[in-house]
C-alpha cells in the first residue's frame, strides 16, 4: 500500500454553540466507554425504540458469522417510524416535504402519512400480500416511495427497492432474485425537464417475471402509458375507500425488513438483508448523535431512496426521530445552479446530508450561487457516498456552512446499514477525514494477514466487532455472504475498502480495493490521486484509471473537469502533474491527462471508472442504465 504523509492538517474545533447543545459532549470519554463494552452500549441505545417484547439476549454469536442482535425480541420497523408517534404531539408535525423540478410540492403530516400507509397496507393485503412476501419498488424520489416501504414493513412483507434509473434488464434481474410477487412503480418521472417513462421499463422487466401477479402504478407525471387491465392497478384506486387504520405485524427482531441489491458492477448483484430490530436501533442512534437532532429539524438527505442512504437517512431515520424529511425529485442545478440552495432557504433546512460529487458540481459553478441565499437555518452538514477531497470539504465548510457548520463526513456501506466511521459534532475535524469509528464500532487498517499497519500507511479497512444494523446474509446465497465478508481476512468483517489512519487515530478512506493502482510496484489509491488533482485551484474534480503498461505494470490516465472559464493547455497539464507529485510524491507519475466537461457517475454520485477504462480499452461498457 501507499505510504501517505498528512502534513499540516488543521483541526477544525467545534463552536461554543455546537458544544452547548451537543448530545455527546465528552467525545473521547464516550468512545472509551463504548469500546470497553460495545454490547452494553447498543443495549442502552435499544431503549430508544419501541419493543412489543424485550430481548432474551442482546447479542448472539453462536452461529458465526450469522450473528443476531436482540434475540427473542419483538418489534416492527414501521411502527417505530410512524405508529408510535400517533397520539403524541409529533402526529401533527410535518413528516415529509416534497418538491420536484417543475415546482410541484406536497406536504404530509405524521397523521396523514400514517393514514395513507394504512390504506396501502389494506390494499396490499387485498392483493394477497402477506408476511414474508417480497414486494419490489421501482419509484422515483416521491412520497409514495416512503409510503410503500412503510406499508410493506408494517404488514411484515419484505420490500426490495430498485433504483429508478436502472434498465429493464437490471430491474428484471433483481425482481427474479427476490422472487417478488408485486411491483410498485409509477407512470414516469421528470429529470432535467425530460420525461422518464418508468412504466414502459417496468413492463419490459415484468414480461419475463411470471411470479409478479400485480403491478401497482403511481400516477406521478400524468403521461399516457400502456395499461394492462388484468395485471396493472392504479395506486390511487388501490387505496381508495380503504380503512385508515391497519394492524401492525409483530415481527421478531431478526425478521427481514428488506432486501437491497448492491450495484453489481463486476458480478451478479448481492441481495443484502436487513432486519427489523438491530437496523432500527443503529439507524436511530446514528442519526440522533451524528446530526445532533433535537426533534424539530428539517433534514435533507439528497440521496435517492433506491440506495441504502435513502432507506436509512431519507425515510426510516428521520421518521423514527420524529423530525421532518425533505424529498426532492430532480437534479440540484435545474433550472439554475442555485436550485439546491433555494430549497435549503425555502424549507429552512437544518441538516444537509449530501455527496462529494454534488459539492464538486456546485464548486464548478462558482462561489456566488450559495451566497445569493439566506441559509442561516443550516446547523450541521454531512457527506456520504465516497471520500471527500479536502478542497471540496473546505469549500463546503466556507461557502455553505459559513465556517460555523461542522461537516460530518460519514463512511458506511449498504452492508453496514448505518453510519460506521464518522465524527460527532463535538469532535475536532480534519478536512477530508471521516474521523474515528462511531461509539460501539471497532475498526482497524490491516495488511493481508490481518496485522495492523503503521500510522500513515495504507491497508485494508476492517471491522473487528459486530454491530446491530449489520448485513445478516445475502438473499438466497449464504455461501457468498461468508466468502465475501468473512473469509478474506480471518476473524474480521472485510469492507472491501482501503484506508489509512493518521497518528491521531483519524481514518482516511482511499477507495475500494479494486480502485487501487499498481505503478512500478507501488500501490496508489484512486481517491488519493484524484484528491491530489483537486489541490490545484483550476480543478473541480478528477477521475483516474490504470492502463496496461509493459514496464510499470500500469500507467495512470487522468480525466479532469476544470472550473468554469478555465481553458485546457499544455502548461496546465504540467502544473497538474507537478501538483500531484508534490502532494503524493515522485511515485505518482501521471501519464495522459484528458480534459472533460463531466465524468460518468451514478445518480448516487459514484464515479464509474470501469466505464472510462472500458472506453479506453475498447471493451463492452456493461450496464450503464444507472449513469446520469
Which residue stretches of the chain have pLDDT < 70?
1-8, 263-267, 518, 520-523, 603-604, 622-628
Beta-strand (E) ranges in 162-303? 182-186, 189-191, 194-196, 214-218, 232-234, 251-252, 256-261, 271-275, 298-301
Q: Give me the pLDDT at residue 624, please.
A: 67
Instruction: Give φ, ψ of 45 to 5 degrees.
Output: -65, -30
Q: Give me the pLDDT at residue 8, please.
A: 53
Q: Give me the pLDDT at residue 22, please.
A: 94
Burial (CB < 10 A; 0-12, 13-18, 19+), residue 489, is middle
Indicate yes or no: pTM above 0.75. Answer: yes
Q: Determine the 3-state secondary structure of 578 from DSSP.
A: helix
Q: Give me the pLDDT at residue 625, please.
A: 64
Q: Give me the pLDDT at residue 614, please.
A: 87
At a CB cut-off of 8 Å and minimum separation 6, what does 217 contact? Answer: 185, 186, 187, 199, 225, 227, 232, 233, 234, 235
d(CA 69, CA 59): 5
Q: What is the CATH number of domain 83-252?
A: 3.40.50.980
CATH tag for 16-56+276-450+466-485 (out of 3.90.640.10, 3.40.50.12780, 3.10.200.10, 3.40.50.620): 3.40.50.12780
CATH architecture of 520-617: 2-Layer Sandwich (3.30)
User: What is the β-pairing status of strands 443-446 and 407-409?
Assistant: unpaired
d(CA 584, CA 567): 25
For residue 198, the surrounding DSSP H or E stretch is helix 198-206
Q: Give me the pLDDT at residue 147, please.
A: 99
pLDDT digits (tens, 9 = 90+) for 46-64: 999 999 999 999 999 999 9
Where does CATH 3.40.50.12780 sit in the chain?
A: 16-56+276-450+466-485
Where does CATH 3.30.300.30 sit in the chain?
A: 520-617
Q: Give me the pLDDT at residue 70, please.
A: 98
Where does CATH 3.40.50.980 sit in the chain?
A: 83-252
Comparing CA positions, the residue from 435, 370, 423 lying closest to residue 396 is 370
d(CA 115, CA 111): 6
The 8-class DSSP code of residue 175 comes to H
Amino acid at each position: 500500500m501507499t505510504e501517505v504523509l498528512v502534513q499540516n492538517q488543521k483541526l477544525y474545533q467545534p463552536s461554543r454553540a455546537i458544544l452547548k447543545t451537543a448530545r455527546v459532549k465528552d467525545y473521547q470519554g464516550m468512545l472509551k466507554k463504548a469500546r470497553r463494552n460495545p454490547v452494553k452500549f447498543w443495549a442502552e441505545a435499544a431503549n430508544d425504540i419501541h419493543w412489543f417484547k424485550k430481548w432474551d439476549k442482546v447479542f448472539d454469536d453462536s452461529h458465526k458469522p450469522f450473528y443476531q442482535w436482540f434475540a427473542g425480541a419483538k418489534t416492527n420497523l414501521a411502527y417505530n417510524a410512524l405508529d408510535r408517534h400517533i397520539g403524541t404531539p409529533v402526529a401533527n408535525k410535518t413528516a415529509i416535504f416534497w418538491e420536484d423540478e417543475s415546482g410541484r410540492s406536497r406536504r404530509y403530516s405524521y397523521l396523514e402519512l400514517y393514514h395513507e400507509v394504512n390504506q396501502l397496507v389494506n390494499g396490499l393485503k387485498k392483493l394477497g400480500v402477506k408476511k414474508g412476501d417480497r414486494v419490489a419498488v421501482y419509484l422515483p424520489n416521491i412520497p409514495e416511495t416512503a409510503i410503500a416501504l412503510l406499508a410493506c414493513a408494517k404488514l411484515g412483507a419484505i420490500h426490495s427497492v430498485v433504483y429508478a434509473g436502472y434498465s429493464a434488464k437490471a430491474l428484471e434481474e433483481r425482481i427474479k432474485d427476490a422472487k417478488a410477487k408485486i411491483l410498485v412503480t409509477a407512470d414516469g418521472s421528470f429529470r432535467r425537464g425530460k420525461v422518464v417513462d418508468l412504466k414502459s421499463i417496468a413492463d419490459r422487466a415484468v414480461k419475463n417475471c411470471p411470479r409478479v401477479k400485480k403491478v401497482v402504478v403511481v400516477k406521478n407525471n400524468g403521461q399516457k402509458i400502456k395499461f394492462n387491465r388484468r395485471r396493472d392497478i392504479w395506486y390511487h384506486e388501490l387505496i381508495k375507500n380503504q380503512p385508515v387504520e391497519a394492524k401492525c405485524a409483530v415481527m421478531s427482531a431478526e425478521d427481514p425488513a428488506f432486501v437491497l441489491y448492491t450495484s453489481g458492477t463486476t458480478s451478479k448483484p448481492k441481495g443484502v438483508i436487513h432486519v427489523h430490530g438491530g437496523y432500527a436501533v443503529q439507524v436511530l442512534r446514528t442519526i440522533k448523535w451524528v446530526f445532533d437532532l433535537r426533534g424539530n429539524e428539517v433534514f435533507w438527505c439528497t440521496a435517492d431512496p433506491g440506495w441504502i442512504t435513502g432507506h436509512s437517512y431519507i425515510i426510516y431515520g428521520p421518521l423514527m426521530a420524529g423530525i421532518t424529511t425533505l424529498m426532492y425529485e430532480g437534479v440540484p442545478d435545474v433550472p439554475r445552479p442555485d436550485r439546491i440552495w433555494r430549497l435549503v432557504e425555502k424549507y429552512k433546512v437544518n441538516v444537509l446530508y449530501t455527496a462529494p460529487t454534488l459539492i464538486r458540481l456546485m464548486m464548478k459553478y462558482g462561489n456566488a450561487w450559495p451566497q445569493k441565499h439566506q441559509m442561516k437555518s443550516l446547523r450541521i452538514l454531512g457527506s456520504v457516498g465516497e471520500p471527500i477531497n479536502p478542497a471540496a470539504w473546505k469549500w463546503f465548510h466556507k461557502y455553505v456552512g459559513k465556517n460555523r457548520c461542522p461537516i460530518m463526513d460519514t463512511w458506511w456501506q449498504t452492508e453496514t446499514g448505518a453510519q460506521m466511521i464518522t465524527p460527532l459534532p463535538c469532535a475536532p475535524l480534519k478536512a477530508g477525514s471521516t474521523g474515528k469509528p462511531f461509539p460501539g464500532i471497532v475498526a482497524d487498517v490491516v495488511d493481508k494477514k490481518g496485522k495492523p499497519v503503521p500510522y500513515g500507511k495504507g491497508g485494508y479497512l476492517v471491522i473487528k466487532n459486530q454491530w446491530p444494523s449489520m448485513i445478516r446474509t445475502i438473499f438466497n446465497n449464504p455461501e457468498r455472504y461468508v466468502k465475501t465478508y468473512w473469509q478474506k481476512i480471518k476473524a474480521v468483517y472485510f469492507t472491501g475498502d482501503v484506508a489509512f489512519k493518521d497518528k491521531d487515530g483519524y481514518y482516511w478512506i482511499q477507495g475500494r480495493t479494486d480502485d487501487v493502482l499498481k505503478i512500478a510496484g507501488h500501490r496508489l489509491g484512486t481517491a488519493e490521486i484524484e484528491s491530489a488533482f483537486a489541490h490545484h485551484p483550476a480543478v473541480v474534480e478528477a477521475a483516474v484509471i490504470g492502463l496496461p503498461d509493459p514496464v510499470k505494470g500500469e500507467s495512470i490516465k487522468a480525466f479532469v473537469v476544470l472550473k468554469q472559464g478555465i481553458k485546457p493547455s499544455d502548461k496546465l497539464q504540467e502544473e497538474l502533474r507537478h501538483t500531484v507529485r508534490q502532494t503524493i510524491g515522485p511515485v505518482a507519475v501521471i501519464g495522459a491527462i484528458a480534459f472533460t466537461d463531466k465524468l460518468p457517475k451514478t445518480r448516487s454520485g459514484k464515479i464509474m471508472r470501469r466505464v472510462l477504462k472500458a472506453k479506453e480499452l475498447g471493451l463492452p461498457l456493461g450496464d450503464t442504465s444507472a449513469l446520469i
